[in-house]
Chain A
Amino acid sequence: MASFLVRRLVGYVVLVAVATSLAYLLAASALDPRANYADRSPRPPEAAVDAQLSAYNLNDKDPLLVRYATWAAGVLRGDFGRSWNGSPVNDDLARRAGVTLRLVGCGLVLGAVAGVAVGAVAAAGQYGWFDRLSTAVAFLLLAVPTVVLANTLVIAAVWLNDLTGVRLLMVSGETTPGAASLLDRVQHLALPTLTLALAMAAVFSRYQRNLMLDVLGADFVRTARAKGLSRAAAVRRHALRVALIPVVTYFAFTFGALLVGATVTESVFGWYGLGQQLVAAIRGNDVNTVAAISCLAALALLVAALAADLLHAALDPRVRVA
């Protein structure tokens, strides 16, 4: 098991390295930091721009592979380089990663738990009122893009605040500047988290429902019933336990979608996280920031995949021996 995990880990690290390198090469050749100087007035002389860009390892007149080597050497030392205006990329990264992590973490845990629970209950009473209701809601949620969902929640919150005359839910930023109490944080966190969690829950509930339906007819559930277990106990102790296994694998696949969802959520709700920074960096031709964020995204995916592997092994004795 240990050697299996080590092999897995090495494979993932190689993948992340290759993926990050590709992302850098793409960003370095597609984005144009030089354009940022063109709009300045007075327009700086060409030589000065070149010198400036070269100093930040951003000059498109330097060969791509040389820039890549410089960048890669920096990354290995833990330095993601400089932004086009000279500020180090590393500066803000940790704080922004924390913001995104809080958002994604809350949304994921809430969404996955709610989704699995709803899916399991729906499957146990297939074609009952709960099944029908949850199916209808899930279908609706799945059809609503995060963009629309987030904006709808903003509109609804503004309406609710107007109606009650109290500022119940905040729709902009992480905290109210100067009044950062715990309550204030929760008021800010509620809607962005809900945005992510609702979409996650819809996906997970459909998935869990189908898995449960496959398992409910399995022979071992019949055996549990033949032992004298009530239907509820047989479903809980045997069917649900087995149907949880594939969900864990699925978890890793949803992670990428979750990061995109976080980008949208941060933009709509004005959170200064990685997603928001990514969009700004692409618009601002900020090659090194884009590469740094892609590296973090790949790393996050790696951690998610590894966690899925470990959870899978914890849940399923059949893979432990392999």
Chain B
Amino acid sequence: MNVLEVRDLGVRFGEVPAVRGLGFAVAGGEVLGVVGESGSGKSAAVLAVLGLLPPKAVVTGSVRLHGRELVGAPDKELTALRGKALAMVFQDPLAALTPVHRVGAQIAEAVRVHQDLSRRQAWARAVELLDLVGIAEPARAARAFPHEFSGGMRQRVMIAMAVANDPDVLICDEPTTALDVTVQAQVLEVLRDARRETGAAVVFVTHDLGVVAGIADRVLVMREGRAVESGPVEEVFARPRMPYTRELLAATPRLDREAAVLRGVPRPPVPVLRVENLVKEYRRGVRVVDRVSLDIRAGETLGLVGESGCGKTTLLMEILGLAAPRHGRVVVFGRDTARLGRRDRLALRRDLQIVFQDPMASLDPRMTVHDILAEPLRMHRLPLDRVPELLRLVGLAPEHAARYPQDFSGGQRQRIAIARALALEPRLLVLDEPVSALDVRIRAGVVELLAELKARLGLAYLFVAHDLALVRRIADRVAVMYLGRIAEIGPAERVFSAPRHPYTRALLAAVPLPDPVAERARPRVPLAGETPSPAGPLTGCRFRARCPVYPGLPETARSRCAGEEPELEGQDGAACHHASGGAR
């Protein structure tokens, strides 16, 4: 019995159609995954189901809930249904919660809108719901404000709010996109529980094929406002019928079978960057980066992975600042940054350049592409006639120089950013999540370009990413960061096939595979908790609060973890007292 039926749904914003002729149906207890790249109209479609699009959007077609037509229904009727029969979980849980009300009050409000309860009863129910979604000390947590919660906890609150009235349909719009991979695994688990508890039909919108493979029963692929393909998830993943679906699947990197495309040719091990015991404090005693050591050799790619708050961005900024660090040493191309004059520092910048994550934000919108590429050349008094050559190098035409960044797509903008970084002919390129803001098919092209440039120009890369499958494809060596320290470092092959640190293992286990059969066959043991603040007291091993190994250890071994901080030895190993030598 289908709970929700959508037929011939159309959404227009003025003249621009966002959704055209979309149809799907979901039964109770079933999960429908809606997949598509940005701009495919997937979010507009689900907001149309809820009737929450801005008034200037025109919705046509039919949406039936238990056979009752919702399109064109009076707002009063929809208001009565929203939050009760139809509930929604949004993408960005910080923006989606009102900053000035307590978390408990916001959940209690959702309860009281539809149930005749006293304030006190509603509050008690809110605490109960917080407990249900796995928030520790729910009575205390209910009194907190949203900004006091981490991203994962906020998303749990959103889910608690959505299931408060036992909805028939639960719509999730990219609910885990803003979260780290280990937290994503936890939230997906909570969503699975919520579906089981409520028996709701779930519509799950995402761009991540791995997530869909893990959670959906059926899948609907969208492109440019239309349904491209739909069917049972195993069938679509195993035998995609449409070329677009095949393309998407092919472009998605897979952690379990990834061939390296970027491995360097063996070269003499000349270090281009050496970081020794680098420390960065924000306030006294709060070490965001704590005694980090690593090195990169010429022509090599070092992948640096870690979740948000692990200090990887701070580490990059410390390196790129080329200033003398308070503690530790940074040696770039054999020159210690503590002993650089102004002139030397400027000269050294030619060898060390960066490409940022967000191609929207990394190009000044008020400059033409020519001016953007000319800026580094002018600064270092190099001839400007290199601009056309740079554009060709990244696969763009020299005529594009006269345009503004806004005239280009995301992938093209990232190519411009790469061209700017290459203008000074650097030998080491720092890539800070260079493709994570791009759609999966565009991603593949940029990665290809990076591989090609590396081979042609003999560059070394410091590649920062949270996408482990991508790192596996690109890196020669990998460093895993946790809470300001390097947990594990080693050759990519070894780290991915035989991770030694429990954190590395958990991280790898949390990455969903874009393959329903393999993904569902994997044991699911989500890592508990979230990265704590570096401001807290840190003694012993800083991972032990979340460590899956620690609770099972004998007492003596545990006291070692609590009292003695494990150190990393050399350039291949793990900072763990109980590092496993072998299997995953």
* B interface, CB within 8 angstroms of A: 50, 52, 54, 75-76, 79-84, 87-88, 90, 92, 95-101, 109-110, 113-114, 145, 147-148, 158, 161, 165
Contact = CB atoms under 8 A, between A and B. Distances in A.
Interface stretch (A11-19, A148-156, A291-299, A310-318): A310-318
A224 interface: yes
A231 B74 CA distance: 13
A270 to B, nearest CB: 45
A227 B96 contact: no
A177 interface: no
Interface residues of A, number: 24
Interface stretch (A95-103, A181-189, A238-246, A279-287): A238-246
Interface stretch (A32-40, A43-51, A133-141, A215-223): A215-223
Contact of B75 (A218, A226, A231): A231
Contact of B82 (A219, A228, A242, A315): A228
B334 to A, nearest CB: 44
B100 A226 contact: no
Interface string A201-242: 000000000000000011110111111111100000110011
Nearest to B50: A226
Nearest to B161: A227
A232 to B, nearest CB: 10
A224 B98 contact: yes
Nearest 5 CB-CB pairings of A with B: A228-B83, A219-B95, A227-B83, A227-B110, A220-B98
B98 A226 contact: no
Contacts of A219: 90, 92, 95-96
A318 B158 CA distance: 19
Given A317-B145, A318-B145, A318-B147, A228 B96 contact: no
A76 B33 CA distance: 74
Contacts of B54: 217
Contact of A226 (B52, B76, B80, B145): B52
Contacts of B98: 220, 223-224, 238, 241-242
Contacts of B110: 227-228
B99 A317 contact: yes
B175 to A, nearest CB: 13
A230 B100 contact: no
A222 B90 CA distance: 9
Contacts of B158: 223
B17 to A, nearest CB: 22
A300 B12 CA distance: 54
B90 A228 contact: no
A50 B84 CA distance: 86
Given A227-B161, A228-B110, A318 B83 contact: no
Nearest to A225: B52
Nearest to B162: A226
B526 to A, nearest CB: 26
B95 A220 contact: yes
A228 B113 contact: yes
A227 B161 CA distance: 8
Contacts of B96: 219-220, 222-223
A227 B82 CA distance: 6
Contact of A242 (B83, B90, B99): B99
A302 to B, nearest CB: 27
Contact of B97 (A217, A220, A315): A220
